Amino acid sequence: MSQENMSNDNVESATEDPTDDDMILETDVAAGLEEGSETVRTARERSIVEANGINVWYNDEQALQDITMSVPENQVTAMIGPSGCGKSTFLRCINRMNDMIDAARVEGELYLGEKNVYDPDVDPVALRRRVGMVFQKPNPFPKSIYDNVAYGLKIQDIGGNHDEIVEESLKRAALWDEVKDQLDESGLDLSGGQQQRLCIARAIAPDPEVILMDEPASALDPVATSKIEDLIDELAEDYTVIIVTHNMQQAARISDKTAVFLTGGELVEFDDTKTIFENPEHERVEDYITGKFG
């Protein structure tokens, strides 16, 4: 797990880096609590992303309202909700991609481990090494497969044996066997599903702690989608995955936790995925899940 400090001053400083334990807040979260279940358990989950009163505006239009939530480490958290409710906006708050949108203004605190990523001393580039991102449309660079995966290592000046890191990243992205004999060929010549797995390999090569995925399978056919879903499940053993999806069945299949955003940029409910889909607390969430609107 990457441990570098995000501040401009200390990006290169290994000695002052906090330990993994320092980086992660520990919070009590009741998980898997089922009434009448023989195995009611209260797990101590470690949260890795903590949003505290996040509000976002695009010019005068408010896109997110007072979002407070704790995303647990090494789990898959899905964000669902109707179009325009702010899911992608929230995802972009976590790695400060909204900084690149002139109209966007973010208020509130968002902690990655112990550090508020909106503190003035945080370098967004260093932050994005800790928080990788995969987009809806596969977007490999017009470069070789090898160079696509090694890209982040080069621009972020990450040391180590790049050949080994590229191989390991492609293996983790379940693509190595398909491309190991064509690493010098263009990433653009791969199929759509392979391109998306290449983008996942590119995202994990710098060894981030969190991987953000914005509808990563929506442009893919069912077979390619299924491969991505299997991959997300495996990635959650080593990484925290936060995924925006329009596909409720997909959220139900692959996520441990689900956050339901509704129109107006409100986070209405956030709970274990099973609870959200089988016994949601809010009527509006039930209406959305059952297809009464949205």
Ligand X SMILES: Nc1ncnc2c1ncn2[C@@H]1O[C@H](COP(=O)(O)OP(=O)(O)OP(=O)(O)O)[C@@H](O)[C@H]1O
- Among all chains, which residue has been given the structure tokens 């401009």? 8
- Give the number of C-alpha atoms closer than 13 A to the C-alpha of residue 281, restricted to the C-beta side: 10
Residue among 75, 89, 196, 273 that touches ligand X (CB under 6 A): 89
Sites for ligand X among residues 239-268 (CB under 6 A): 246
Residue among 37, 83, 161, 249 that touches ligand X (CB under 6 A): 83
Stretch that binds ligand X, among 87-95, 152-160, 170-178, 266-274 (CB under 6 A): 87-95
Pick between residue 90 and residue 277 the one whose CB is nearest to ligand X: 90
Does 101 bind ligand X (CB under 6 A)? Our answer is yes
Partners of 62 in the beta sheet?
A: 57
Does 15 bind ligand X (CB under 6 A)? Our answer is no
Stretch that binds ligand X, among 14-22, 86-94, 166-174, 249-257 (CB under 6 A): 86-94
Pick between residue 137 and residue 162 the one whose CB is nearest to ligand X: 137
Residue among 103, 119, 278, 293 that touches ligand X (CB under 6 A): 103
Taking the chain, what is the end-to-end CA distance rounded to the nearest angstrom?
Answer: 38
Does 294 bind ligand X (CB under 6 A)? Our answer is no
Does 63 bind ligand X (CB under 6 A)? Our answer is yes
Stretch that binds ligand X, among 13-21, 83-91, 105-113, 277-285 (CB under 6 A): 83-91
Sites for ligand X among residues 203-242 (CB under 6 A): none
Q: How far is the CB of 194 from ligand X (least distance, A)?
A: 24
Pick between residue 86 and residue 280 the one whose CB is nearest to ligand X: 86
Q: How far is the CB of 138 from ligand X (least distance, A)?
A: 17
Q: How far is the CB of 56 from ligand X (least distance, A)?
A: 8
Please compute Rg for the chain using Cα positions: 19
Q: Report how many residues bind ligand X under the rule CB under 6 A.
A: 13
Residue among 4, 47, 73, 86 that touches ligand X (CB under 6 A): 86
Q: Which string of DSSP letters, residue by residue, matches the chain?
A: ------BTTTTT-STTPPPHHHHSEE-----S--TT-TT-----PEEEEEEEEEEEEETTEEEEEEEEEEEETTSEEEEE-STTSSHHHHHHHHTTGGGG-TTEEEEEEEEETTEETTSTTB-HHHHHHHEEEE-SS----SSBHHHHHHHHHHHTT--S-HHHHHHHHHHHTT-HHHHTT-TTSBGGGS-HHHHHHHHHHHHHTT--SEEEEESTTTTS-HHHHHHHHHHHHHHTTTSEEEEE-S-HHHHHHH-SEEEEEETTTEEEEEEEHHHHHHS-S-HHHHHHHTTS--
Does 58 bind ligand X (CB under 6 A)? Our answer is yes
Does 102 bind ligand X (CB under 6 A)? Our answer is no
Does 293 bind ligand X (CB under 6 A)? Our answer is no
Number of CB atoms found within 10 A of residue 279's CB: 12
Residues that bind ligand X (CB under 6 A): 58, 63, 81, 83-89, 101, 103, 246
